């Protein structure tokens, strides 16, 4: 079987989502409150059943996202195990490692500084701790007791939230890394310079790019679903007019997260789409000078038979996949859905 390759320079595409990641960190650190002051007096008392409802949603979303992200990572590993040149395989593995380390960097920081502020503090640390403090964990009778992922702590359900967020960071690193590497591998080339061989390879690349785009939209939309479950966890316990005000804060936070995720998809999809489009044009020009495809009609039919023609529905599908996290964020604003 012929060994294919991706030119090393194309793996620099991974720098674009890294830049988006860095920009989001700057925005969060400089323009958003690290610990939003929300009074705990707006909470109902003795409503443990509402905390339990939120816990079911959160654990289910965590499980689903972790399974889906793990599947995406497995697909990326499978792609890297295909007949590829050693340099391509090493470059792909390096990108996977870098993205993974960036994703778990917050978890590493929390291990070094256990008292550092967590993501939930941006939506009111005191409120979360008071609301989730109404619940209990099996086996946690005193703060020094241990459960599956560590010490129970003063508020066991907050410890659950923190540990599950750390686990999700790990799977997010694997999943997003797999999406980026899988997208870059859509730029594979073969050594055969014949027209038919180039057409077959380009057709395969375009199909794989579409698969990666739809998969990216799915994974990051499920990521929004996961974010929705932890952000909305205390909301049913908020009473009176404060419920609408706090709901507005959550909806805005979800929209911000949805926009960030859509930008991530765009950052690694658009460069690959532009490169493949330029290859498609080059192939059409090559076909124009081919002896057996001298007539315009023959060239168009040949490109169409290879799945390389422009289909309006493809643009609609691509656009939907790109904005899927934003749409999921809007859906998460309705409490009846989440």
Joined tokens for residue 219: 């994974």
Region of 116 (left: φ > 0; alpha: ψ -120 to 50; beta: rest) is beta
pLDDT at 268: 96
pLDDT at 335: 62
pLDDT at 199: 81
Q: Which domain holds residue 132?
A: 8-331
What value does the CA radius of gyration of the chain take, rounded to a whole number of Å?
Answer: 24
| pLDDT tens-digit series, residues 139-198 | 888 889 988 888 899 999 999 999 999 999 999 999 999 999 999 999 999 876 677 778
Regions of the chain where pLDDT drops below 50: 296-297
pLDDT at 135: 87
Q: Is residue 204 part of a domain?
A: yes
Pairing verdict, β 150-151 and 146-147: antiparallel
pLDDT at 34: 92
Q: Is residue 2 part of a domain?
A: no
Q: Is residue 142 part of a domain?
A: yes
Q: Is residue 1 part of a domain?
A: no
Q: Is residue 105 part of a domain?
A: yes
- Tally of structural domains, the chain: 1
Q: Is residue 38 part of a domain?
A: yes
Q: Is residue 79 part of a domain?
A: yes
pLDDT at 329: 93
pLDDT at 158: 94
Q: Is residue 338 part of a domain?
A: no
């Amino acid at each position: 079987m012929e060994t294919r390759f991706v030119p090393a320079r194309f793996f620099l595409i991974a720098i674009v989502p890294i830049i988006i990641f860095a920009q989001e960190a700057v925005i969060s650190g400089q323009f958003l409150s690290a610990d939003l002051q929300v009074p705990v007096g707006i909470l109902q008392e003795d409503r443990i059943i509402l905390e339990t409802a939120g816990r079911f949603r959160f654990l289910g979303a965590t499980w689903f996202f972790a399974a889906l992200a793990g599947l995406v990572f497995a697909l990326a590993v499978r792609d890297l195990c295909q007949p590829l040149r050693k340099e391509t395989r090493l470059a792909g593995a390096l990108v996977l490692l870098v993205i993974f380390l960036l994703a778990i960097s917050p978890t590493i920081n929390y291990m070094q500084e256990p008292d550092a502020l967590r993501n939930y503090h941006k939506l009111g640390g005191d409120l979360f701790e008071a609301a989730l403090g109404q619940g209990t964990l099996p086996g946690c009778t005193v703060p020094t007791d241990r459960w599956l992922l560590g010490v129970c702590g003063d508020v066991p359900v907050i410890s659950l939230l923190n540990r599950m967020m750390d686990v999700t960071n790990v799977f997010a690193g694997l999943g997003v890394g797999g999406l980026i590497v899988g997208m870059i591998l859509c730029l594979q080339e073969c050594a055969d310079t014949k027209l038919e061989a180039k057409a077959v390879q380009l057709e395969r690349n375009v199909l794989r790019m579409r698969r990666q785009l739809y998969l990216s939209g799915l994974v990051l939309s499920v990521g929004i679903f996961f974010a929705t479950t932890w952000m909305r966890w205390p909301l049913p316990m908020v009473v009176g007019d404060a419920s609408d005000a706090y709901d507005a804060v959550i909806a805005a936070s979800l929209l911000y997260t949805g926009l960030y995720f859509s930008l991530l998809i765009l950052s690694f999809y658009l460069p690959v789409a532009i490169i493949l489009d330029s290859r498609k044009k080059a192939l059409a020009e090559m076909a124009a000078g081919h002896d057996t495809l001298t007539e315009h009609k023959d060239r168009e039919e040949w490109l169409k038979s290879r799945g390389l023609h422009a289909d309006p529905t493809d643009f609609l599908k691509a656009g939907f996949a790109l904005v899927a996290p934003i749409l999921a964020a809007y859906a998460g604003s309705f409490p009846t859905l989440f």
